Each structure stands twice: as structure tokens, then as C-alpha cells.
Amino acid sequence: MLCLVRFENKAFIISNKGIFIFGVLIGCLALSRQWAFLLFPSLIIYFIKCDKKVKREYFNFISKSFIVGFVISGWFYFINLFRYGSFIAFNMPPTNEGYFDRLRSLLSLEGVGTNIFSNPIRPYFKNQFFPILYSDTWGDYWGYFTFTSRFLDIGIDQENIGSYLGRVNLVSTFTFVILLIGTLKSYKQISNKALVFFIKYSILFSLLGYLWFVLGYPTGSGDTIKSTYLIQMFNLMTFITAIFLDRLKNNKIYISLISILLIIYAHNFSSFLSKFPINFPY
């Protein structure tokens, strides 16, 4: 993101060294996780929205950068194609059957009730996208840290963890609202058009692309709904919200918000840590 700010300030007249560095970043993103591909459409579409004065320079910069990125990461995806028959192979086959029924099921909030603030751990939400995603983002819906992820009945602190994670979900609504407000407000505060465009549409593409993935690879339990798959979206929202908070003109409001966020962080800290001893039978 800092590269985009610097490059736009230079009207995208970038040296070959700068293009190579940005291309390496693209390649490393592609190698790190396939979800990074949801960040790339924003860079391509920006060509349509950028000023006419820099269109040629931007096209030269972004096309060469993607070529470098392809050289660095392309080999991995061709191995996937030859070995598994797809560039973006997954460990289960996709399906398009019953697409709209699955969409209705995913977006359903039926039966959620107070569980989201009292017992937000599996299997209390039945393949429901937003309750599971919210609970897994702020807490530990699948139990990878706070209780065993394989068996529901032998987890450490299994009897108590639901109520604690319910409180985590409850106090984190404040953080969630701040992230939403900060994300939306910051779009008007940042003068760098390329950066705003990249963050705004990367968040949108990440959410929609991930929802498409969940619909394409359905499971009865919602096992494909995990917040780690959307980590880049949450990082972008946090980054742009930090800019929003930094530019608050009222120091009292700023200090109050930061203080509340620190209190929430302290309350939620235990949910960040694994409770399992060494050699625990997962």
C-alpha cells in the first residue's frame, strides 16, 4: 500500500527497479495464499478509473509488475493444474447444484438467537455464514485454540468457554462498529486515489469472492467458513480505520475510543492463546 502511495505521487513513472520490487510483492502474495488473488482485481480495474494523464504510465507499471509476479509464482499454479486439474485446487470438488438454496441457507439467521452472545462455538450455528464468521473472527468458533477442534466433548474448559466467548463476541461489537465507521469515513479523508480504490474494492472483492467460494464448496457443518480465509480483508479495514482514528480532531473522543479498545483487547486476550498442553490428543 505504501508503494501505491509513492508510485501515484510519481505519476506512476517508475524505474525498472521499482517495478521489479512491486512485482516481487505480487508474486510473494500469490505464493503465500490463494486468497491473495482477491486483491489483484482492484489493481487491474484501477486502470479504468485512473486519470487519463497517467493511464499509459499506470498500464506500463502494472502490466510489467504482473509479469514479474507471474514469473515468480506461476510455476506453483501450473503444478496444481497438471497434478490436480485446476490452477486453484481445493481438497474437495466444487458443485453448482442447488446454488440458490445454499445461498438462502448460508444467509439464514434462523435459530441463532442469543447463542451468538452466550455460546458461539460449534455446532450451534448450522452452516450460517455471518454468525459463524463473526464468532470465528472475534472468538474461536471451531475451537482451534480454546478447545479441541476434533471432539466437542473433551475440550479443555469446554463447559465454561462458551460463556466467555459469548462475552468476547458482545464486547467486540464495539470494535466491529468502529471498524465499519472507520473504513467508510476514511475513504473521504485520504487524498491518494489509488490507495482508496485499492482498499475499497479489495475489501469488496475479498468478501464477495469468499462468499462465492463457500457457496461453491458446501459442507453440512459450514467447515469452509473460517475468518482466516478473509484475513487480508480485516487487515485492510484495520489499516484504514487506524488512519480514521489518527485524524480525529477531538482528542477526548480519540483517547476515549483508544481506551475502550484497549479494555476490550485485555478482556479478549485469553481467546488469542491456545489452552492445550504439549502432546494433547487433538
The per-residue pLDDT for range 51-65, each reduced to its tens digit, is: 777 788 888 888 889
Q: What span, in angstroms and rounded, lies between the C-alpha atoms of 9 and 194?
A: 10
Q: What is the per-residue pLDDT for 91?
A: 65
Q: What is the per-residue pLDDT for 1?
A: 61
Q: What span, in angstroms and rounded, lies between the C-alpha atoms of 21 and 203?
A: 24
Q: What is the per-residue pLDDT for 149?
A: 54
pLDDT digits 0-9 by tens, 90-120: 766 667 666 677 777 777 777 777 788 888 8
Strand stretches in the chain, DSSP E: none
Q: What is the per-residue pLDDT for 261?
A: 94
Q: What is the per-residue pLDDT for 105?
A: 75
- With b for 16 or more beta-carbon neighbours within 10 A and e for fewer, the 225-253 pattern comes to bbbebbebbeebbeebbebbbeeeeeeee
Residues 6+ away with beta carbon under 8 Å from 55:
47
Q: What is the per-residue pLDDT for 125?
A: 83
Q: What is the per-residue pLDDT for 102?
A: 74
Residues of the chain predicted below pLDDT 50: none
How many Cβ atoms sit within 10 Å of the Cβ of residue 49?
12
Contact (CB, 8 A) for 225 and 123: no
Closest CA to 156 of 51, 275, 17, 272: 275
Closest CA to 68 of 24, 38, 100: 24
Give the three cell numbers for residue 201: 474494492
Q: What is the per-residue pLDDT for 216?
A: 79
C-alpha distances in Å from residue 2, one per residue of 22, 30, 57, 242? 11, 19, 18, 15
pTM of the model: 0.81
Contact (CB, 8 A) for 210 and 106: no
Q: What is the per-residue pLDDT for 175?
A: 94
Q: What is the per-residue pLDDT for 5?
A: 66
Give the three cell numbers for residue 269: 486476550
Q: What is the per-residue pLDDT for 255?
A: 92
Q: What's the length of the chain?
A: 282
Q: What span, in angstroms and rounded, lies between the C-alpha atoms of 77 and 85?
A: 10
